[in-house]
Amino acid sequence: MRIGNHSGRLTLFTEQGAVDVEKASGGRFGPDPQAVYQVWEDFLNWSKDARLSGASAFDPADLGSPAPAPTQLFAIGVNYREHASETDLATPDTFPPVFTKFRTSISGPVTTVTLPEGGHTDWEVELVAVIGQHARRVSAADAWSYVAGLTVGQDISERIRQIEGQGTAPQFSMGKSLPGFTPIGPWLVTVDEFENPDDLELGCAIDGDTVQHSRTSNLIFSVPQLIEGLSASLELLPGDVIFTGTPSGVGIGRKPQRWLQPGEELVSHISGIGELRQRFVAA
């Protein structure tokens, strides 16, 4: 099942197009895309037998994030070996670094993003997991059953701000939370749709030039291991979002380094999910 956010309304996406959930369910489920995760089990049960007539065509530019207002958004650093080596960071052995992207930075999949003046703005394509039920002290073996589904994320990062404060504590969350720096979408694909949810191809390209390309089987800490580790420390809530880390090929790891420029378009994709499309403009 593909579920998401069309013009701010909870929507199912079928082969035929977009189906408004509130209308299709006769009001059993409301229009808020974030609220569905509170009743995820119920929603899955309803969707199995739902008669989804009245699908309509839609414009991808009208899609919002399938989780537009999570209570918590976790982002994971240094979770692919080749990305660790391109950024001269040690590979984490017990658990990778965790930070947040503040939720005002979340956007839909097709957007125009303003580049901060004097910044070094970089790209990071990532597999994103959305939590479907309360999770506390979950083992990796059980962890997939706590995931509502998977989507594509871009962890857009302003590197000057991000790295500021080395020696005290770097400003990862600030440098990664500018307006529009957290596109998510185009929709959530439930875990049952994937032959192997631990091995998905992902990548991104700038104006057609591929800059990142890998597979999620290269994650140092897999989605289940991340859920085990996070839920050992804290409680994961329905609708929470986890950015799982980026593979190699980011601008800061290149020689010479490369940053996003006004007029460039960044297209990010994950096989079996879909793509994000960001156009960058000057401030």
Task: Report the interface residues with Zn ion, using CB under 5 A.
Answer: 124, 155, 246
Nearer to Zn ion by Cβ, of 34 and 154: the residue is: 154
**Smallest gap, in angstroms, from Cβ of residue 278 to Zn ion?**
15
Nearer to Zn ion by Cβ, of 29 and 74: the residue is: 74
**Smallest gap, in angstroms, from Cβ of residue 245 to Zn ion?**
6
Six-digit token pair at 53?
């007539």
Amino acid at position 220, single letter: I
Six-digit token pair at 240?
């929470």
Nearer to Zn ion by Cβ, of 6 and 101: the residue is: 101
**Smallest gap, in angstroms, from Cβ of residue 111 to Zn ion?**
18
Q: Which residue is nearest to Zn ion (CB)?
A: 155
**Smallest gap, in angstroms, from Cβ of residue 93 to Zn ion?**
19
Nearer to Zn ion by Cβ, of 187 and 243: the residue is: 243
Nearer to Zn ion by Cβ, of 38 and 100: the residue is: 100
**Smallest gap, in angstroms, from Cβ of residue 250 to Zn ion?**
9
Nearer to Zn ion by Cβ, of 124 and 275: the residue is: 124
The residue count of the chain comes to: 283
C-alpha to C-alpha distance for 169 and 37, rounded to whole angstroms: 33
**Smallest gap, in angstroms, from Cβ of residue 266 to Zn ion?**
14
